[in-house]
Structure 1
Amino acid sequence: MPAFGRRGLLRSALAAGAALVGAAAGGGEALALATGGEPRSLTIHRLQTNESFDGVYWRDGRYDREALRRLDWVLRDPARDEATPMDPRLFDVLHTVARQMEASEGFEVISGYRSPETNEARARESRRVSRASLHMSGMAADVRLIGRDSFGMARLAAGMQVGGVGLYRRDGFVHLDCGPARRW
């Protein structure tokens, strides 16, 4: 497992940022240059359900609908056993972060889609849960990258400027989303 020092992190963030600036004029495919034209894949394990996805979700210039359906199911709200169509840009963010960190181990997903009812219940329990969470829109996931430092992952993702990044250091995970670029 490669160490991701300060220079490596900075180099990766700058490369991703340059690619994204160049791709910004392309609209919805803002991450296309950062990931190139090659197939995009993910390895994720959902902690609450012990389910996994390990495969390609984008190839030949388009998203694989069956792979997206499988990802939607793995990232469903386990409290209600309810799935929603996840925004594929979230998968692009996850793919790009893993690639920039040269990670092959995969993500552990703490939270993916949350139904409004589940989100409301969590918001009553903790002030750290937004009542307008992008989890309810299928645009966010709380993740760990196995064997990697959550602080390093959060810094890299924030430097990419492709969505929201929240570091929950005490709990050891990072919130990533495909909404407006911001961090906390």
Structure 2
Amino acid sequence: MPLHLAAPFRRLAAHRQVLTLAAVTAVLLAVAPTASARTIPRHKHPRIHAVRNILLNVGLPGIGLLLDDDDVPAEDGQKYELKLVRQGGEIIDVVYRVGDTYIPDALNQLSEFLHDTHNEEVKDYDPRTFDVLHTMLAKLGRSTSAIEILSAYRTQETNDALRASGTTNAAEHSQHIEAKAIDIRVPGVPAAQLRDAALSLNAGGVGYYPKSQFIHVDTGPVREWTFAPHKVRARSKARAKHSRHRRA
């Protein structure tokens, strides 16, 4: 292309990108629920699903596309299946993705299954969380294994109550509140192996709880930690003893 034509074309392309971004932003602002509505049960706030459609269908890297509710998923392509079990015995076994395409109804079922058990409220889960679980099991050669769910979505109120109880190490700004985190066990698989498989994905946060033999995975910032309360207590006692000696 002649040089005198190249610059106008570049300006036109940049202008179109700005217009596209502005259009997406306008739609998000129009359909996004208010902050107070984010933890209300799904059937009362269908706009949450609309926002998720927009975000996923712009082609974010590393995830699939989300079908419209009336579309039929392609039959070819890898099937992503999860079998989850809650502590009360409730079970779900569902194919939530085929190839690069997420299945809306299956995502809805999974989100409802992972509701806050303290108040039955539901929030749409980040589907990448399901990809983390599926890929982690595949790495371990346990694709068909059931995953035991210890903790899933939490409302802000539930998270605050857990923090106040002092019985957990729930973070103030937990990814559970954003429906991006799950605490799990897989029967027959040591938690250390689950941790290593999850860490190899480099897909978000991974917490290791050796005493209780479970792990936390989320799709937030990449980070890792090990929770060993007995070591924390030992260090606290040592500091207290040292402080008493100094006062004496």
TM-score calculated relative to the size of structure 2: 0.59
Q: Unaligned stretches of 5+ in structure 1?
A: 1-25
Aligned equivalent of 2:185: 144
Which consecutive unaligned segments of at least 5 residues does structure 2 have? Answer: 1-58, 66-76, 226-248
What SS is found at the alignment partner of 2:177? helix
Give 1:77's aligned residue. Answer: 116
Q: Deviations over 1:152-183 (max 9, x none)?
A: 11012112211100001111110000111110
Matching residue of 1:43:
83
Q: AA paired with 2:83?
A: T
Among 103, 110, 113, the residue aligned to 1:64: 103
Offset from partner CA, 1:86-114 (integer Å, 9 cap, x none): 10000000000011111122100000000
Q: How far, CA to CA, are the matches of 1:30 and 1:141 in structure 2?
A: 18
The structural deviation recorded for 1:41 is 1.0
Q: Secondary structure at the match of 1:134?
A: coil
Which residue does the alignment assign to 1:4?
none
Residue by residue over 1:12-48, the C-alpha shift from the partner in whole angstroms, topping out at 9 and shown as x without a partner, is: xxxxxxxxxxxxxx8432699xxxx51111111011x
Greater strand proportion:
1
1:159 matches 2:200: yes
Amino acid at match of 2:186: L
The one of the two structures with greater contact order (alpha-carbon pairs below 8 A, sep at least 6) is 1
Query: What fraction of aligned residue pairs are identical, expressed as a percent?
Result: 33
Q: Which residue does 1:99 correspond to in 2? A: 138
User: Highest Rg: 1 or 2?
Assistant: 2
Q: Is the 8 A contact 1:42 1:56 kept in 2?
A: yes
Q: Which residue among 176, 194, 205 is the counterpart of 1:135?
A: 176
CA contact (8 A) 1:134 1:179 kept: yes
Aligned length: 154
1:119 corresponds in structure 2 to 159
- Three-state SS of the structure 2 residue aligned to 1:156 is helix
Q: Report Cα offsets for 1:46-70 as digits up to 9, x if no partner.
A: 11x4221112100153111111111
Equivalent of residue 88 in structure 1, options 94, 108, 127: 127
Instruction: Please name the residue that 1:5 is paired with.
Output: none
Structure 2 counterpart of 1:29, from 44, 48, 62: 62
What is the root-mean-square deviation in Å for CA atoms of aligned residues? 1.8
**Structure 2 residue aligned with 1:17:** none
**Residues 154, 115 of structure 1: alpha-carbon distance in 2 compared, 3 angstrom cutoff:** same
Query: How far is the alpha carbon of 1:136 from its aligned partner?
Result: 0.4
Q: Which residue of 2 aligns with 1:53?
A: 92
Q: 1:150 to 1:180 in 2, by over 3 A?
A: same
Question: TM-score, normalised to structure 1's length?
Answer: 0.78
Out of 165, 177, 181, the position equivalent to 2:218 is: 177
Letter in 2 for 1:65: P
* Aligned amino acid, residue 28 of structure 1: P
CA contact 1:166–1:174 (8 Å) conserved in 2: yes
Quick check: 1:105–1:147 contact (8 Å CA) kept in 2? no
Secondary structure of 2:176's partner?
helix
